[in-house]
Amino acid sequence: MLIIAIKMLLADKGKYFGIVLGVTLASLVITQQGAIFTGIMSRTFATVTDMGDPDIWVMDTKVQYIDDIKPLQSTALGRVRSVEGVAWAAPLYKGMLRARLDNGEFQNCVVLGLDDATLAGGPPSMIEGELEFLRRSDAVIVDAIGARTRLAQPDGMGGKRPLRVGDTIEINDRRGVVVGICQSMRTFQSQPVVYTTYSRATHFAPRERKLLSFVLVKAMQGVDHKDLCDRIEAASGLAAYTRDQWKWKTVMFYIENTGIPINFGIAVSLGLLIGAVITGFMFYSFIADNIRYLGTLKAMGATDATLMNMVLVQALIVGTIGFGLGAGLASLFGAAVKRSPLAFLIPWQLLVVSGSAVTVICLLAAMLSMRRVMTLEPAMVFKG
């Protein structure tokens, strides 16, 4: 009987494509918008992602997200270090500082000051130069995208060229020499990222009483990270989060305090709604077109369960194809914008979400039509 259902579905090419189109549209919009949303959200904690090494971030209890800097007493570092289970603890300076370019323009940069001794928390990979070069005088390492775009230098011919190793930039009127170019994730506001040592960063930074932004902690082997957070908090009176907790805290801040989720929510809901309406309408009309034949089957003794299975199979087929097409198109879109500044990320969870949404749409469409099949009077087959 399922073969009959499939043949019935494929027979009317127009309706079939219409239904698939509706599902594809919904799946595409959800996946694509969801991927941009996920991409943007993942940029909010780009710094945390890039610093793969520390297991735990320690900060002031009032800090809400990664760019919310509330400096700590320098004594915090020692207090954290002395907590049992801490393998190492390193200071991190993080600040937004103004860099002056050769052409006289100013550009805000995220400046990260790494522990002088260990350089803990360095960039995930170097394109040019080495992290160790930060030990040279005035040394800074700049991220590749920043070097190519916002920190690009005049090339003397009216155009621009990327910032290169050996160039100098001025940060808060202090000289920095580029010793390396690194790979790093684009940040939320797309500012260039400048790595340097902690002590040099504190020179770049405006004079303030306190300059320690975070304490980065590596847990000893076998120590539970959450337990360690609790111990650090108890011992220091500060807030301590595992890397994942810290990412989520940052994301949740943006979700709760910006209009971004609402905007995406609206776009996704619209896509869902339009997709659901097209799918539901086309599917219903497909069933209506075939109601005479479904009625004939019913008269000939097919049970409601059999007929509903047929409808369900039809819905699941269009659902699977539409979802595949939509997700595929979204991935193509992602591949096409890979080199652009657009944030785009399709984690498997997103596919689960869009897959579930498509399933719900198809089930709704099927249920709408099933009602029609259930209430179908088999006696209608005798009507002309």
Partner 1 sequence: MTTQTHASPSMDLPGGGSLAVRCQGVTKTYGKGDAAVRALRGVDLDVYTGELLMLVGPSGCGKTTLISVIAGVLDHDEGACRVLGEDLRDLSPNKRAAFRARNIGFVFQAFNLIPTLTAAENVSVPLLIQGVGRREAMARSRELLAKVGLGDRTHEMPTRLSGGQQQRVAIARGIVHNPRLLVCDEPTSALDHKTGQRILELLREVAAGTQLSLVVVTHDPRIFEFADRIAEMDDGRVRRIAEGQHHDHSTGRGGFDIAPGDSSPGGKEQA
The binding site for partner 1 (CB under 8 A) comprises: 1, 3-4, 7-8, 10-11, 292-293, 296-306, 377-379, 381-384
Q: Which is nearer to partner 1, 7 or 339 (CB)?
A: 7
Closest CA to 6 of 320, 305, 311: 311
- Letter for the amino acid at 133? F
3-state secondary structure the chain: CHHHHHHHHHHCHHHHHHHHHHHHHHHHHHHHHHHHHHHHHHHHCHHHHHCCCCCEEEECCCCCCCCCCCCECCHHHHHHHCCCCEEEEEEEEEEEEEEECCCCCEEEEEEEEECCCCCCCCCCEEEECCHHHHHCCCEEEEEHHHHHCCCCEECCCCCEECCCCCCEEEECCEEEEEEEEEECCCCCCCCCEEEEEHHHHHHHCCCCCCCECEEEEEECCCCCHHHHHHHHHHHHCCEEEEHHHHHHHHHHHHHHHCCHHHHHHHHHHHHHHHHHHHHHHHHHHHHHHCHHHHHHHHHCCCCHHHHHHHHHHHHHHHHHHHHHHHHHHHHHHHHHCCCCCCCCCCCHHHHHHHHHHHHHHHHHHHHHHHHHHHCCCHHHHHCC
* Minimum distance, C-beta of residue 322 to partner 1, in the bound complex (Å): 21
Q: Which is nearer to partner 1, 1 or 117 (CB)?
A: 1
> Do 332 and 34 touch, CB atoms closer than 8 A?
no
Give the whole-angstrom CA distance, residue 349 versus residue 155: 45
Q: Which is nearer to partner 1, 1 or 270 (CB)?
A: 1
Q: How far apart are the first and last CA of the chain?
A: 25
Q: Which is nearer to partner 1, 106 or 293 (CB)?
A: 293
* Minimum distance, C-beta of residue 307 to partner 1, in the bound complex (Å): 10
* Minimum distance, C-beta of residue 351 to partner 1, in the bound complex (Å): 33
State the Cα angle at 232 between 125 and 203, rounded to 5°: 50
Q: Which is nearer to partner 1, 348 or 382 (CB)?
A: 382
Q: Which is nearer to partner 1, 49 or 306 (CB)?
A: 306
* Minimum distance, C-beta of residue 65 to partner 1, in the bound complex (Å): 58
* Minimum distance, C-beta of residue 4 to partner 1, in the bound complex (Å): 7
Q: Which is nearer to partner 1, 275 or 295 (CB)?
A: 295
* Minimum distance, C-beta of residue 369 to partner 1, in the bound complex (Å): 17
* Minimum distance, C-beta of residue 287 to partner 1, in the bound complex (Å): 14
* Minimum distance, C-beta of residue 10 to partner 1, in the bound complex (Å): 8
Strands 168-171 and 174-183: antiparallel
* Minimum distance, C-beta of residue 288 to partner 1, in the bound complex (Å): 15
* Minimum distance, C-beta of residue 332 to partner 1, in the bound complex (Å): 33
